[in-house]
Amino acid sequence: MKILVTGFDPFGGEAINPAGEAVKGLPNEINGAEIHKLEIPTVFHKSAETIRQAVKDIQPDVVLAVGQAGGRYEVTPERVAINVDDARIPDNEGNQPIDVAIQEDGESAYFTKLPVKAMVAAMREAGIPAAVSNTAGTFVCNHIMYQVLYMIDKEFPEMTGGFVHVPFIPEQVTDKPGKPSMSLTDITKALEAGIKAVVEQAGKGDIKAVGGATH
């Protein structure tokens, strides 16, 4: 099995993006699967073009994109991506699409087929706070999750894909009182545990576990 894991480059003047750095820290093999790591730009559409080229070159079985969700306490595999860009702030090239469909011929939403509940269970078993998320937002993270699932729907039906959000790291919250953070080591550990679950559940579907939300 080949797994392409992507992380965004630093965003908005930050010196580091924990998503990209955590991906770089992953081993080259997890549970027998080849891990291919790729840094992608925090830019609408360009990020998808970068992944699409890597998919054509590597031909992975799984694409797992990773991004930051500052303010979250947990590592959160995402369940669904929606077909809208509605950027509260510009991306790294100044693009700020508002109420724009990501793909005019795409579905209103795509649900991941990755075993998000098994991933959460594996992360928690590894000692890392984790939860299923039911919203990836409307910025570049939702954009790239949607684009990956759109590629699967239209071009690469044998592939599966999804997205994981990670918290701030401590260096990012020194001037953000009350904001949660997680060490880069623990974020990488969570991603590795989640990928192990993806490999173990291949062909089996997800586990049955509570993972819903009240709001």
Rounded distance, CA 156 to CA 75, Å?
27
Residue keyed to tokens 């991933």:
119
- Mapped onto helix, strand or coil, the DSSP state of residue 27 is coil
Catalytic residues: 78, 141, 165
Q: Under a CB-based contact definition with an 8 Å cutoff, are residues 101 and 154 in contact? A: no
Would you state the structure tokens that stand for residue 107, as one six-digit string?
């579905």
DSSP state of 108: S
Would you state the structure tokens that stand for residue 46, as one six-digit string?
């360009």
Residue 168 φ then ψ, to 5°? -60, 160
CA distances from 5 to 8, 28, 131, 149, 178 (A): 10, 11, 19, 14, 30
| Strand spans (E) along 78-159 | 80-82, 109-111
